[in-house]
Protein backbone atom coordinates (compact mmCIF):
# COMPACT_ATOMS: atom_id res chain seq x y z
CA UNK A 1 0.00 0.00 0.00
CA UNK A 2 1.53 3.36 -0.98
CA UNK A 3 2.30 5.78 1.82
CA UNK A 4 0.20 8.94 2.15
CA UNK A 5 2.01 11.85 0.57
CA UNK A 6 0.61 14.46 2.94
CA UNK A 7 -0.17 14.44 6.65
CA UNK A 8 -3.53 15.53 8.04
CA UNK A 9 -3.91 19.14 9.07
CA UNK A 10 -3.78 19.32 12.92
CA UNK A 11 -5.85 22.50 12.85
CA UNK A 12 -8.71 20.91 10.89
CA UNK A 13 -10.46 19.35 13.87
CA UNK A 14 -13.60 18.48 11.89
CA UNK A 15 -11.55 16.43 9.43
CA UNK A 16 -9.64 14.74 12.25
CA UNK A 17 -12.90 13.81 13.95
CA UNK A 18 -14.33 12.46 10.71
CA UNK A 19 -11.24 10.30 10.24
CA UNK A 20 -11.39 9.16 13.88
CA UNK A 21 -15.03 8.04 13.54
CA UNK A 22 -13.87 4.76 12.06
CA UNK A 23 -17.13 2.91 12.83
CA UNK A 24 -19.35 5.70 11.47
CA UNK A 25 -21.02 6.28 14.84
CA UNK A 26 -22.00 9.83 13.91
CA UNK A 27 -24.30 8.43 11.22
CA UNK A 28 -26.16 6.43 13.89
CA UNK A 29 -27.36 9.66 15.52
CA UNK A 30 -30.46 11.56 14.49
CA UNK A 31 -30.24 15.14 13.29
CA UNK A 32 -31.79 16.28 16.57
CA UNK A 33 -29.25 14.32 18.61
CA UNK A 34 -26.38 15.82 16.64
CA UNK A 35 -27.85 19.29 17.16
CA UNK A 36 -27.90 18.80 20.94
CA UNK A 37 -24.34 17.50 20.88
CA UNK A 38 -23.09 20.35 18.74
CA UNK A 39 -24.76 22.96 20.93
CA UNK A 40 -23.13 21.61 24.09
CA UNK A 41 -19.80 21.17 22.29
CA UNK A 42 -19.85 24.80 21.16
CA UNK A 43 -20.58 25.94 24.70
CA UNK A 44 -17.69 23.92 26.09
CA UNK A 45 -15.33 25.23 23.42
CA UNK A 46 -16.30 28.86 24.05
CA UNK A 47 -16.91 28.97 27.80
CA UNK A 48 -14.94 26.11 29.37
CA UNK A 49 -11.76 25.35 27.45
CA UNK A 50 -10.25 28.86 27.74
CA UNK A 51 -10.54 28.77 31.54
CA UNK A 52 -10.50 25.17 32.77
CA UNK A 53 -6.73 24.85 33.23
CA UNK A 54 -6.80 27.90 35.48
CA UNK A 55 -9.79 26.59 37.43
CA UNK A 56 -8.03 23.27 37.85
CA UNK A 57 -4.82 24.98 38.98
CA UNK A 58 -6.62 27.18 41.52
CA UNK A 59 -9.01 24.39 42.62
CA UNK A 60 -11.99 26.56 41.76
CA UNK A 61 -15.45 25.67 40.48
CA UNK A 62 -17.15 28.64 38.78
CA UNK A 63 -20.57 28.58 40.44
CA UNK A 64 -21.68 31.44 38.22
CA UNK A 65 -21.80 28.98 35.34
CA UNK A 66 -24.90 27.25 36.77
CA UNK A 67 -27.45 29.56 35.08
CA UNK A 68 -25.57 29.18 31.79
CA UNK A 69 -25.90 25.40 32.07
CA UNK A 70 -29.57 25.92 32.81
CA UNK A 71 -30.02 27.95 29.64
CA UNK A 72 -28.08 25.26 27.78
CA UNK A 73 -30.73 22.77 28.92
CA UNK A 74 -28.47 20.17 30.53
CA UNK A 75 -29.80 20.28 34.12
CA UNK A 76 -32.39 17.61 34.82
CA UNK A 77 -32.20 16.99 31.11
CA UNK A 78 -34.40 13.89 30.89
CA UNK A 79 -37.06 15.05 33.39
CA UNK A 80 -40.49 15.91 31.96
CA UNK A 81 -42.49 18.87 33.21
CA UNK A 82 -41.83 21.54 35.86
CA UNK A 83 -39.72 23.54 33.43
CA UNK A 84 -37.28 20.67 32.79
CA UNK A 85 -35.90 19.96 29.31
CA UNK A 86 -37.53 16.55 28.78
CA UNK A 87 -34.87 15.27 26.39
CA UNK A 88 -33.96 11.66 25.58
CA UNK A 89 -31.40 9.54 27.37
CA UNK A 90 -29.17 9.55 24.29
CA UNK A 91 -29.32 13.34 24.09
CA UNK A 92 -28.36 13.57 27.75
CA UNK A 93 -25.53 11.11 27.16
CA UNK A 94 -24.17 13.17 24.28
CA UNK A 95 -24.33 16.28 26.46
CA UNK A 96 -22.48 14.45 29.26
CA UNK A 97 -19.80 13.37 26.78
CA UNK A 98 -19.19 16.92 25.60
CA UNK A 99 -19.24 18.35 29.14
CA UNK A 100 -16.63 15.87 30.35
CA UNK A 101 -14.53 16.52 27.26
CA UNK A 102 -14.15 19.94 28.88
CA UNK A 103 -13.68 18.66 32.44
CA UNK A 104 -15.05 15.89 34.65
CA UNK A 105 -16.10 18.48 37.20
CA UNK A 106 -18.44 20.11 34.70
CA UNK A 107 -20.18 16.83 33.89
CA UNK A 108 -20.25 16.02 37.60
CA UNK A 109 -22.13 19.26 38.27
CA UNK A 110 -24.80 18.32 35.73
CA UNK A 111 -24.93 14.79 37.15
CA UNK A 112 -25.22 15.77 40.83
CA UNK A 113 -27.73 18.51 40.11
CA UNK A 114 -29.74 16.69 37.46
CA UNK A 115 -29.52 12.93 37.91
CA UNK A 116 -28.99 12.66 41.66
CA UNK A 117 -30.80 15.60 43.28
CA UNK A 118 -33.42 16.55 40.70
CA UNK A 119 -33.96 12.92 39.76
CA UNK A 120 -34.71 12.06 43.40
CA UNK A 121 -37.12 14.97 43.75
CA UNK A 122 -38.87 14.09 40.50
CA UNK A 123 -39.09 10.40 41.33
CA UNK A 124 -39.90 10.60 45.04
CA UNK A 125 -41.03 14.15 45.85
CA UNK A 126 -44.47 15.55 46.49
CA UNK A 127 -46.17 17.83 43.98
CA UNK A 128 -45.31 20.77 46.23
CA UNK A 129 -41.63 19.78 46.45
CA UNK A 130 -41.40 19.36 42.69
CA UNK A 131 -43.05 22.71 42.04
CA UNK A 132 -40.80 24.46 44.55
CA UNK A 133 -37.47 23.05 43.44
CA UNK A 134 -37.43 21.55 39.94
CA UNK A 135 -37.99 24.74 37.91
CA UNK A 136 -35.31 26.67 39.82
CA UNK A 137 -32.84 23.81 39.67
CA UNK A 138 -33.44 23.31 35.94
CA UNK A 139 -32.66 26.97 35.34
CA UNK A 140 -29.55 26.83 37.52
CA UNK A 141 -31.01 29.52 39.77
CA UNK A 142 -30.63 27.14 42.72
CA UNK A 143 -28.11 24.38 43.37
CA UNK A 144 -28.75 21.04 45.07
CA UNK A 145 -26.54 18.27 46.40
CA UNK A 146 -27.10 14.57 47.13
CA UNK A 147 -25.97 13.33 50.53
CA UNK A 148 -25.71 9.55 50.66
CA UNK A 149 -22.05 8.54 51.19
CA UNK A 150 -20.71 8.58 54.75
CA UNK A 151 -17.21 8.37 56.25
CA UNK A 152 -17.73 4.67 56.98
CA UNK A 153 -20.41 3.87 54.39
CA UNK A 154 -19.31 4.29 50.78
CA UNK A 155 -19.75 1.12 48.77
CA UNK A 156 -22.16 -0.22 51.42
CA UNK A 157 -24.82 2.48 51.94
CA UNK A 158 -26.97 0.04 53.91
CA UNK A 159 -24.55 0.56 56.80
CA UNK A 160 -25.19 4.32 56.97
CA UNK A 161 -25.28 5.72 60.50
CA UNK A 162 -27.01 9.04 59.87
CA UNK A 163 -30.34 8.74 61.65
CA UNK A 164 -33.58 10.74 61.51
CA UNK A 165 -36.01 10.43 64.41
CA UNK A 166 -39.53 11.76 64.73
CA UNK A 167 -40.13 14.60 67.17
CA UNK A 168 -43.78 15.57 66.99
CA UNK A 169 -44.39 16.90 63.49
CA UNK A 170 -40.68 17.28 62.79
CA UNK A 171 -37.65 15.12 62.13
CA UNK A 172 -34.30 15.44 63.93
CA UNK A 173 -31.27 14.36 61.90
CA UNK A 174 -27.89 13.41 63.39
CA UNK A 175 -24.87 11.98 61.61
CA UNK A 176 -22.27 12.74 58.94
CA UNK A 177 -21.86 12.56 55.19
CA UNK A 178 -18.67 12.69 53.13
CA UNK A 179 -17.68 13.32 49.51
CA UNK A 180 -20.83 15.28 48.82
CA UNK A 181 -20.50 17.24 45.59
CA UNK A 182 -21.60 20.90 45.49
CA UNK A 183 -22.68 21.05 49.15
CA UNK A 184 -20.89 24.30 49.98
CA UNK A 185 -22.62 26.19 47.16
CA UNK A 186 -26.00 24.39 47.33
CA UNK A 187 -29.21 25.77 48.76
CA UNK A 188 -30.76 22.36 49.43
CA UNK A 189 -29.42 18.89 50.18
CA UNK A 190 -31.18 15.62 49.37
CA UNK A 191 -30.23 13.75 52.54
CA UNK A 192 -30.62 10.02 53.06
CA UNK A 193 -30.94 8.77 56.63
CA UNK A 194 -31.93 5.68 58.55
CA UNK A 195 -35.24 5.86 60.43
CA UNK A 196 -37.23 3.41 62.50
CA UNK A 197 -39.00 2.52 59.24
CA UNK A 198 -35.92 2.17 57.06
CA UNK A 199 -34.00 4.61 54.86
CA UNK A 200 -35.82 7.85 54.03
CA UNK A 201 -34.98 10.93 52.00
CA UNK A 202 -35.25 14.54 53.17
CA UNK A 203 -34.85 17.96 51.58
CA UNK A 204 -32.67 19.88 54.01
CA UNK A 205 -31.82 23.58 53.54
CA UNK A 206 -28.05 23.94 53.69
CA UNK A 207 -28.39 26.88 56.07
CA UNK A 208 -30.34 24.79 58.61
CA UNK A 209 -29.11 25.21 62.21
CA UNK A 210 -26.89 22.30 63.21
CA UNK A 211 -25.72 21.51 59.68
CA UNK A 212 -21.97 21.95 59.21
CA UNK A 213 -20.31 21.93 55.79
CA UNK A 214 -16.56 21.60 55.21
CA UNK A 215 -14.91 21.62 51.79
CA UNK A 216 -12.53 18.68 51.33
CA UNK A 217 -9.20 20.00 50.08
CA UNK A 218 -6.51 20.03 48.82
CA UNK A 219 -7.14 17.39 46.15
CA UNK A 220 -5.04 16.02 43.33
CA UNK A 221 -8.12 15.15 41.28
CA UNK A 222 -11.42 16.86 40.39
CA UNK A 223 -9.82 20.16 41.31
CA UNK A 224 -12.28 22.22 39.25
CA UNK A 225 -15.08 20.73 41.33
CA UNK A 226 -16.35 20.84 44.91
CA UNK A 227 -16.65 17.94 47.36
CA UNK A 228 -17.60 18.37 51.00
CA UNK A 229 -18.10 16.75 54.36
CA UNK A 230 -21.41 17.35 56.13
CA UNK A 231 -22.17 17.05 59.84
CA UNK A 232 -25.70 16.91 61.24
CA UNK A 233 -26.09 17.86 64.90
CA UNK A 234 -29.76 17.88 65.77
CA UNK A 235 -30.84 19.30 62.42
CA UNK A 236 -34.59 19.83 62.56
CA UNK A 237 -36.82 19.70 59.49
CA UNK A 238 -40.62 19.49 59.19
CA UNK A 239 -42.34 16.39 57.88
CA UNK A 240 -43.02 18.37 54.70
CA UNK A 241 -39.28 18.05 53.99
CA UNK A 242 -39.54 14.27 53.74
CA UNK A 243 -39.63 12.81 50.22
CA UNK A 244 -42.91 10.86 50.43
CA UNK A 245 -42.04 8.41 47.66
CA UNK A 246 -38.65 7.46 49.09
CA UNK A 247 -38.50 4.46 51.39
CA UNK A 248 -35.58 2.06 51.43
CA UNK A 249 -32.43 2.11 49.34
CA UNK A 250 -34.28 1.59 46.06
CA UNK A 251 -34.83 5.35 45.76
CA UNK A 252 -31.19 6.49 46.02
CA UNK A 253 -30.08 3.50 43.94
CA UNK A 254 -32.38 4.62 41.12
CA UNK A 255 -30.71 8.03 41.15
CA UNK A 256 -27.26 6.43 41.25
CA UNK A 257 -28.17 4.33 38.22
CA UNK A 258 -28.94 7.46 36.23
CA UNK A 259 -25.70 9.08 37.36
CA UNK A 260 -23.68 5.98 36.43
CA UNK A 261 -25.30 6.01 33.01
CA UNK A 262 -24.07 9.58 32.52
CA UNK A 263 -20.55 8.50 33.49
CA UNK A 264 -20.57 5.85 30.74
CA UNK A 265 -20.85 8.70 28.24
CA UNK A 266 -18.73 11.21 30.14
CA UNK A 267 -15.74 8.90 30.27
CA UNK A 268 -15.82 8.71 26.47
CA UNK A 269 -15.63 12.50 26.37
CA UNK A 270 -12.51 12.58 28.54
CA UNK A 271 -10.93 9.82 26.44
CA UNK A 272 -11.83 11.47 23.14
CA UNK A 273 -10.45 14.82 24.23
CA UNK A 274 -7.21 13.20 25.39
CA UNK A 275 -6.88 11.28 22.13
CA UNK A 276 -7.53 14.38 20.03
CA UNK A 277 -4.94 16.34 21.98
CA UNK A 278 -2.38 13.60 21.32
CA UNK A 279 -3.30 13.27 17.64
CA UNK A 280 -3.02 16.99 16.97
CA UNK A 281 0.24 17.21 18.93
CA UNK A 282 1.75 14.29 17.05
CA UNK A 283 1.00 15.98 13.73
CA UNK A 284 2.66 19.23 14.85
CA UNK A 285 5.62 17.93 16.82
CA UNK A 286 8.68 17.12 14.71
CA UNK A 287 11.63 14.97 15.72
CA UNK A 288 14.34 13.51 13.50
CA UNK A 289 13.06 15.67 10.66
CA UNK A 290 9.43 14.51 10.55
CA UNK A 291 6.18 14.72 12.56
CA UNK A 292 6.16 12.10 15.30
CA UNK A 293 2.79 10.96 13.90
CA UNK A 294 4.83 9.36 11.14
CA UNK A 295 6.60 6.94 13.45
CA UNK A 296 5.25 3.42 13.87
CA UNK A 297 5.25 3.41 17.68
CA UNK A 298 3.30 6.68 17.80
CA UNK A 299 0.80 5.37 15.26
CA UNK A 300 0.30 2.24 17.33
CA UNK A 301 -0.52 4.40 20.37
CA UNK A 302 -2.92 6.52 18.34
CA UNK A 303 -4.64 3.47 16.88
CA UNK A 304 -5.01 1.81 20.29
CA UNK A 305 -6.56 4.99 21.69
CA UNK A 306 -8.89 5.47 18.73
CA UNK A 307 -10.11 1.88 19.05
CA UNK A 308 -10.99 2.34 22.73
CA UNK A 309 -12.75 5.66 22.11
CA UNK A 310 -14.81 4.10 19.32
CA UNK A 311 -15.70 1.03 21.40
CA UNK A 312 -16.65 3.20 24.35
CA UNK A 313 -18.84 5.48 22.25
CA UNK A 314 -20.61 2.53 20.64
CA UNK A 315 -21.25 0.97 24.05
CA UNK A 316 -22.58 4.24 25.44
CA UNK A 317 -24.92 4.70 22.47
CA UNK A 318 -26.20 1.14 22.78
CA UNK A 319 -26.97 1.66 26.47
CA UNK A 320 -28.64 4.97 25.65
CA UNK A 321 -30.94 3.32 23.12
CA UNK A 322 -31.81 0.68 25.72
CA UNK A 323 -32.54 3.37 28.31
CA UNK A 324 -34.79 5.26 25.94
CA UNK A 325 -36.61 1.99 25.23
CA UNK A 326 -37.04 1.40 28.98
CA UNK A 327 -35.10 -1.88 28.95
CA UNK A 328 -31.72 -0.86 30.42
CA UNK A 329 -30.69 -3.12 33.30
CA UNK A 330 -28.37 -2.33 36.26
CA UNK A 331 -25.74 -4.87 35.24
CA UNK A 332 -25.55 -3.27 31.80
CA UNK A 333 -24.85 0.12 33.39
CA UNK A 334 -22.22 -1.53 35.58
CA UNK A 335 -20.50 -2.98 32.51
CA UNK A 336 -20.45 0.41 30.83
CA UNK A 337 -19.24 2.33 33.86
CA UNK A 338 -16.57 -0.24 34.70
CA UNK A 339 -14.97 -0.55 31.30
CA UNK A 340 -15.45 2.91 29.82
CA UNK A 341 -13.84 4.59 32.82
CA UNK A 342 -10.86 2.27 33.10
CA UNK A 343 -10.25 2.49 29.35
CA UNK A 344 -10.55 6.28 29.49
CA UNK A 345 -7.84 6.35 32.15
CA UNK A 346 -5.59 4.24 29.92
CA UNK A 347 -6.23 6.55 26.95
CA UNK A 348 -5.51 9.70 28.97
CA UNK A 349 -2.26 8.25 30.29
CA UNK A 350 -1.16 7.09 26.84
CA UNK A 351 -2.05 10.46 25.32
CA UNK A 352 0.15 12.15 27.90
CA UNK A 353 3.14 10.12 26.74
CA UNK A 354 2.76 11.38 23.18
CA UNK A 355 2.90 14.95 24.45
CA UNK A 356 6.20 14.17 26.17
CA UNK A 357 7.37 16.59 28.84
CA UNK A 358 4.77 19.17 27.82
CA UNK A 359 2.16 16.58 28.69
CA UNK A 360 2.46 17.42 32.38
CA UNK A 361 1.53 21.08 31.80
CA UNK A 362 -2.06 21.83 32.81
CA UNK A 363 -2.64 23.67 29.55
CA UNK A 364 -2.72 20.23 27.95
CA UNK A 365 -5.82 18.26 28.86
CA UNK A 366 -4.66 14.61 29.10
CA UNK A 367 -2.93 15.08 32.48
CA UNK A 368 -6.06 16.76 33.88
CA UNK A 369 -8.33 14.06 32.49
CA UNK A 370 -6.07 11.31 33.87
CA UNK A 371 -6.19 12.87 37.34
CA UNK A 372 -9.96 13.48 37.23
CA UNK A 373 -10.75 9.98 36.04
CA UNK A 374 -9.15 8.53 39.17
CA UNK A 375 -12.08 10.07 41.05
CA UNK A 376 -14.62 9.08 38.42
CA UNK A 377 -13.33 5.51 38.72
CA UNK A 378 -14.10 5.61 42.44
CA UNK A 379 -17.42 7.40 42.76
CA UNK A 380 -20.82 5.99 41.75
CA UNK A 381 -19.41 2.52 42.38
CA UNK A 382 -15.79 1.41 42.42
CA UNK A 383 -14.37 -1.10 39.95
CA UNK A 384 -14.73 -3.73 42.66
CA UNK A 385 -18.43 -3.01 43.23
CA UNK A 386 -19.30 -3.11 39.53
CA UNK A 387 -17.24 -6.27 39.10
CA UNK A 388 -19.25 -7.91 41.88
CA UNK A 389 -22.53 -6.72 40.33
CA UNK A 390 -21.50 -8.39 37.08
CA UNK A 391 -20.21 -11.44 38.92
CA UNK A 392 -23.54 -11.89 40.66
CA UNK A 393 -25.33 -11.53 37.34
CA UNK A 394 -23.14 -14.22 35.76
CA UNK A 395 -23.16 -16.73 38.61
CA UNK A 396 -26.29 -15.94 40.56
CA UNK A 397 -24.14 -15.73 43.70
CA UNK A 398 -23.75 -12.47 45.62
CA UNK A 399 -20.13 -12.09 46.71
CA UNK A 400 -20.39 -8.72 48.44
CA UNK A 401 -20.10 -10.18 51.95
pLDDT at 149 over 90: yes
Residues 6+ apart with CB under 8 A from 77: 84, 85, 87, 91, 92, 95, 110, 114
Full-model pTM: 0.95
* Residue of 130, 240, 127, 222 whose CA lies nearest to 181: 222
Is 32 in the active site? no
pLDDT at 211 over 60: yes
| Average pLDDT over every residue of 312-332 | 98
Please report, rounded to a whole number, the percentage of residues in the chain having pLDDT higher than 70. 99
Residue among 229, 308, 350, 380 flagged as catalytic: 380
Nearest-10 Cα torsion for 206, 69, 33, 347: -80
What pLDDT sits at residue 3?
52
What pLDDT sits at residue 153?
87
> pLDDT category, 35, cuts 50, 70, 90?
very high
d(CA 311, CA 166): 51
pLDDT at 361 over 60: yes
In eight-state DSSP terms, residue 289 is T
pLDDT at 5 over 80: no
pLDDT at 4 over 60: no
What pLDDT sits at residue 2?
46
pLDDT at 1 over 80: no
What pLDDT sits at residue 342?
97
Amino acid sequence: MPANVSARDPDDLDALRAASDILGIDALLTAEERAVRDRVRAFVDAEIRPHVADWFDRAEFPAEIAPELGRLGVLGMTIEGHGCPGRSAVEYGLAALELEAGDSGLRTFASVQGSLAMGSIDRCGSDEQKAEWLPRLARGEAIACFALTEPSAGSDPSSMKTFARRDGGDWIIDGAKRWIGLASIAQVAVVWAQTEDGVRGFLVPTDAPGLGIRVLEPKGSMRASIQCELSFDGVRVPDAARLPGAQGLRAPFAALGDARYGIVWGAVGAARDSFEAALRWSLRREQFGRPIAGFQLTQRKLVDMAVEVQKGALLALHLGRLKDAGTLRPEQISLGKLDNVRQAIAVAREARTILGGDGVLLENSPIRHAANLESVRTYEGTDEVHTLVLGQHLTGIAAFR
